[in-house]
Chain A
Amino acid sequence: MLKLLKHFGLYFIMMKKVITIPEKWSAFRKQFVFELTKIGLNSIGIVLFISFFVGGVVSIQTALNLQNPLLPKYLIGLASRDSLILEFSPTMISLILAGKAGSSIASEIGSMRVSEQIDALEIMGVNSASFLILPKIIASLCFFPILVILSMGIGMIGAWIGALSVNITTTDFLYGLRYEFISFYITYAIIKTLVFAFIVSSISSYFGYHAQGGAIAVGKSSTDAVVYSSIFILVFNFILTKLILA
């Protein structure tokens, strides 16, 4: 319990250092663009690949479970749409990004810590937490929603192809996709994604920033970053769903 409180304390102390006005905007801009590429652009491929196939599987499984002739065929499109928008794209993609971007953030900052690069920044008088972590958080907040929206779109294309493979017509599938569409679900998904983006980038940075020792410590920080980011994503998924949808 004490250890947990210590972690929370250190996390908030670090965040207090992170959330400050950048010392030099040109340096911040450069770091921000660098992080956008690393965290965002480099994750597009994996997000599109996973979303397409999961979308396909969701529609096939829904079709197999709704084989009752009394149920309309368009339900496959509707169910696929809602599962992708409400849960798969924001939550599952964030969990995947916790694995990809989160571990990369933690190992990068952890390596800098153990090789004294962070100490070198501090000695120069640079606020190392803000310089290294703030661009990562802002880049995540900017790019995670784009990735999630892309995931929704590609997931639905996957779902459509999946539906075609189980003899659901394009007309039925598209009717289901549009049927009683609630646009607020997109807003809800984006709100969740923003919270998850903050969780992944800040928790991963925390574990990297506080790594102590050598290569093993960097590996541990990377693992802890993925584990704790995933736990907090699932906890906040529950809290946000209860607060926003229930």
Chain B
Amino acid sequence: MIEIKNIEKYFGNNHVLKNVSFTFERGKTNLIIGESGSGKTTLIKILVGLQNKDQGTVLFNGEDVNKMNNKEIRRCRKEIGMLFQGGALYDYMTVEENIMFPLNMFTDKTDDEMLERVNFCLKRVNLKGKNNLMPSELSGGMKKRVAIARAIVMQPKYLFCDEPNSGLDPNTAILIDNLIQEITEEYNITTIVNTHDMNSVMQIGTNIAFIYKGEMWWQGSKEELIKSKNKEVTDFVFASDLFKRLRRS
């Protein structure tokens, strides 16, 4: 479980995050949704430690990140897996080397043990036998799946996904969404997905935080989201004609 309390972030005079508090629950797919520029990416970067916050508290399983020393922060980071928007695969490494990289760096496993784990993760993301392909030989969806395999190879407690569906066709997007949800439930991890794709929200959203102009505007489940009367929420959720028609019907 990850708790954030009263997070504040400024970029110069721009107040990007205003007193944001939320609890990301374990075993659930927690979604951060909102319009582009609302502060979602900044929030996720603060959570994984890529950006500093100006105020507030981040608790990983009750442990305050502010009070951790460098060693504890590094230990905590090893419990985090992250799926980046573009995959962020190392383009000079094969699929196998990409997935094996964290094992190589942080474990004392033998080559055979590492290969076994890599093959298990590849099978889990339906890419069995693609070990020797280079990232440039993969489609967008395959890159995302390799990135998921790399994110879960160390058996993380927390999985962060930054816009996992961007640039994917609807079928592949659903496949990635389902994979994220299955992994979350299977390993009972805390998953946080940053998205503005309503299909994704409806597919996997169990605990949703809606951020509007840097503020935590609304929170709840996908069922509550559909029924919400909040103007900003309905403007965001029912932005497309399809969703408007569905709502009327």
> A residues near B, CB below 8 A?
23-24, 26-27, 112, 115-117, 119-120, 122-126
Contact = CB atoms under 8 A, between A and B. Distances in A.
Interface string B106-126: 100000000000000000000
B50 A117 contact: no
Nearest to A125: B77
A156 to B, nearest CB: 38
Interface string B80-110: 1010111011110000000001101110000
Contacts of A125: 74-75, 77-78, 106
Nearest to B80: A123
Contact of B88 (A26, A27, A120, A126): A120
9 contacts: A115-B88, A115-B91, A116-B86, A117-B90, A120-B82, A120-B90, A123-B160, A124-B102, A125-B106
Dominant secondary structure of chain A at its interface with chain B: helix
Contacts of B77: 122-125
Contacts of B160: 123
Contacts of B74: 125
Interface residues on B, range: 20 to 34
Contacts of A26: 104
B105 A27 contact: yes
B90 A119 contact: no
A104 to B, nearest CB: 13
Contacts of B106: 124-125
A242 to B, nearest CB: 42
Contacts of A122: 49-50, 77
Contacts of A23: 105
Contacts of B4: none
A26 B90 CA distance: 18
Most chain A CB atoms below 10 A, which of B74, B77, B80, B105: B105
Contacts of B75: 125
Contacts of B104: 24, 26-27
